[in-house]
Every structure is written in C-alpha cells, then in structure tokens.
Amino acid sequence: MSGLVARGPCGRNRDVARGDPARWYTGAVAATPDEILLTLAQRGVEIVDPRQTYVAPEIEPDRVCAGAILHPGARLCGARTFIGPGAQVGAEGPATVVNGVLGRDARIDAGYLDSAVLLDGARVGWGAHLRPGTLLEEGASTAHCVGLKHTILLSFVTVGSVVNLCDLLMAGGTSAADHSEVGSGFIHFNFTPWGIRGDKATASLVGDVVQGVFLRQRRIFLGGAGGMVGPRRVGFGAIAGAGQVVRRDVDAGQLSVQLPRAVDRTIAPGYLDAAGFRQGRNVEYIAQVVALREWYRQVRRAHATGPAAIVVDAAIQVLGLCVAERVKRLEAFVRERDVAMPPLQLEPDLAAPDSLLAPVEDGVSHVAWVQGLSDGAVEAGTTWLRAVSDAVGP
C-alpha cells in the first residue's frame, strides 16, 4: 500500500492517496460506509443518525440483526461482532464494539467493549470499559464507569458505578428482584507484588457455578466504597459491609466487616509467599469455569437456536479464554516458586443428565426454563457440575 496512511476509528489503516478516505484498505476494494449502512437499514436495523454511525467493512451484515438499534456515535468493528435483535449500541453516548457479541435486547449505553459477550437483556452503562474474558449473563448489569476484564457475572448480578473488576466470577440470587450486587466504588484487587514482577494468581469466587447457574441460591452483597483482595471466596447469602477492603473469606450467610490490621515490616527483595494456598484457589477457580463451560457446551447449546446459538457459541469461546488465562497465570506462579504444576483435566468426559437435555418449548427463555426446573432436575444437574468441577484437579 502506498501513499499516506491514516488511522481509522477502530484502528484500521486507510489509503488516503486513493482519493477516497472513506474506503478502508483490507487487501480488496471494500464497500463504503454509506453502502454498509444502507445494507443494514434495508435489513431492518435502526440507524438513528447515519452521519454519526460507523460500521467497519469486515462486519458481516447478517451479524447485525433486524431490530438492533445503532445510536449516534456507534462504531462496530471486528469480524466476530454480533448485534442481536433489539440490542442497542450507544443509547447514552459514543460506544465502540470490537469483536463483541450482544444478545437479544442487550445494551452498551456508552463506552468500549472488546471481545466481551452480553447475553439477552444484559446492560452496561455509560463509560463502560469491557475487555476480553468478560461475560455477562441474562439480566446482569452495570451502572456507569465500570471496568471489567476476565470477569463473569451470572444472571441478574448487578454492579454499581465506578467499579473495577478483574479475574472474578460472581453468582447468587434468583431473579431481577432478588440479585447479587456490588456496591459503587468497589475494586477487586487482582495483583500481588511478590517475586520479580508480581503475579495475578488472584482470581476470586463470589458464589459458585455448581449451584449458581440454577438461580436458587441466596443473593450476595459486596458493599461499596471498598474492595476485595484476591483470591477470596465468598459464600451465598454473605454480606460484606461497605467501606472496607475484604482480606479474608466470607462464609455463606455471614455479615462481615473486617477491621484492618497494622503491618509495618521489612520485605526482602524478591520475597515469595508459599505456593499452597493460592495454587489451591487457582485450581478451584479453573474448575468452576470449566464447569460453566460444560454447562454452556452441553446444556445451553442444546437449547439454543438462531441468534441465540451464535451468542452461546461466543460465550463458550470467552470461557475457553478465561480457562487459558487462569492456567497461564498458575503456571507462571508455580514456576517462580519452583514447584510442580498440578495436573489439570480441562476436558472432563462427563455427560449432562438427560433431565437437562429435554427440548425447550418455543418462546421459553433460558432463564424461564431454569426457574421452571424440577427439584430432581436441579439436584441431578448440581451433582453433574460438581463432578465436572472435582474432575478438573486436586
């Protein structure tokens, strides 16, 4: 490519010297933005103001569904981007989606979403910054100015404003009116400064997958204006009071307000903590994410059709990315401490019970199906997912 090169709004190059700065260089002649927008409009996509909407040439028109709404300032980039029926991009301000997947009626009100997946009805507010490894299930939501990376929020989990969560999975609650919540001004601290460069072997479980996917557990509350130092474990029904940094686990059904302890001691260069505790927590976290991936692969995928199947497949990819990230962090952690990597079975060969595989009636959502499961089906499913989790590692 010759001539002057400029950067586009999604980081692609364009050949200004060709005399048409609206054409992006992709190795072949691409459609103009106007042509792409016209195609989408003809397919039933609502484009509120085409003058302020950008859709990159790699976007496949059939991956932006009829009924989707692109507000002024919307930018869609990346061949894997998918916008489901009724989904909205940029309702409150400019919003960029790069290889992101939004299910039916999902929303990013304003901000930036990269390789994250929002299932049906999930919503992230103004100023969102969602990075790879992020999955929000049905009805999960955030308020404004929230950053998420390698974070999994199961159905209905709600996050307040000015929150930063990395390397965390959260479950709990039964419905939109009875949900787990993170208060505003909360940080999950996912970095430990020990060793040569520090590490991120610090993922935290708030609730779990084995019971949490069935939407029958007590909700969890993490109070705002504080945070949590990973790797922590918080049980269903727990409440961590506002205005504190949680440094110890919180058992199920407990109210915890932890007083800080004064520490002032010399740290030797290259100090390392013992491997055992954090190694165990990493294996536990990996096991829960593998169990969730199996839930998606065997149960959710069997029930998904049409656009829902595309969203579920994208969620499976995100969960695979989360597993790979945790394994990489654990390998670096044990290598620095000169201990053996624990054996992990990341592909357990355990079939889901038949009670979870029966066809779902047309028009019945995944959440409604889960809420309608019999006690026997829930017990069988819990037993299966626990077996999957147990099979992953010691």
pLDDT of residue 150: 98
Q: Which pLDDT band, with edges at 50, 70 and 90, does 26 fall under?
A: very low
Task: Inform me whether the pLDDT recorded for 356 exceeds 60.
Answer: yes
Question: 375: pLDDT confidence band, cut at 50, 70 and 90?
Answer: very high
**Amino acid sitting at position 317:** Q
Tell me the C-alpha distance between 200 and 89, whole Å.
Answer: 32
Mean pLDDT for the chain overall: 92
**pLDDT, position 32:** 82
Cα(55)–Cα(183) distance, integer angstroms? 35
Pair 171, 209: CB distance under 8 Å: yes
| Closest among 342, 321, 13 to 167, alpha carbons compared | 321
In contact, 109 and 127? CB cutoff 8 Å: no
In this structure, the strands spanning 111-114 and 128-130 are parallel
Distance from chain centroid for Cα 306: 22
Residue 9 scores a pLDDT above 90: no
Query: Between residues 144 and 24, which one has the greater pLDDT?
Result: 144
CA atoms of 223 and 68, how far apart (whole Å): 35
Q: How many residues comprise the chain?
A: 394
40 pLDDT exceeds 80? yes
State yes or no: pLDDT of 19 exceeds 60. Answer: no
The least confident of 13-17, 69-73, 312-316, 388-392 is 13-17
Residue 367 has which token pair? 């959440």
Mean pLDDT of 318-346: 98
Quick check: 3 pLDDT over 60? no
| Mean pLDDT score, 316-340 | 98
Q: What is the pLDDT of residue 30?
A: 56
Query: Is the Cβ–Cβ distance between 301 and 72 less than 8 Å?
Result: no
Residue 14 has a CB neighbour count (10 Å cut-off) of 21
Say what percent of the chain tops pLDDT 70: 92
Average pLDDT over residues 71-86: 98
User: pLDDT (tens digit, 9 = 90+) per residue, 189-225?
Assistant: 999 999 999 999 999 999 999 999 999 999 999 999 9
Q: Mean pLDDT over residues 89-100, rounded?
A: 98
CA distance linking residue 292 with residue 368, whole number of Å: 18
Mean pLDDT of 370-380: 98
pLDDT for res 34: 86
Q: Is residue 22 scored above 80 in pLDDT? A: no
pLDDT confidence band for 183 (50 / 70 / 90): very high
- Confidence tier at 33 by pLDDT (50, 70, 90): confident
Cα 30–chain centre separation: 32
Do 76 and 97 meet the contact criterion of CB atoms below 8 Å apart? yes
Q: Which residues pair with 15 in a beta bridge?
A: 5
Q: Mean pLDDT check: name the lowest of 3-17, 80-94, 149-163, 164-178.
A: 3-17
Provide, rounded to the nearest whole percent, the portion of the chain with pLDDT above 90: 89
Mean pLDDT of 19-33: 45
* Cα–Cα dist 150/81, whole Å: 18
Reply yes or no on whether the pLDDT at 21 is more than 90: no
Say which residues have a Cβ less than 8 Å from residue 101's Cβ, sequence separation at least 6.
Answer: 80, 81, 82, 116, 117, 118, 310, 311, 314, 315
Q: What is the mean pLDDT of residues 69-96?
A: 98
pTM: 0.92
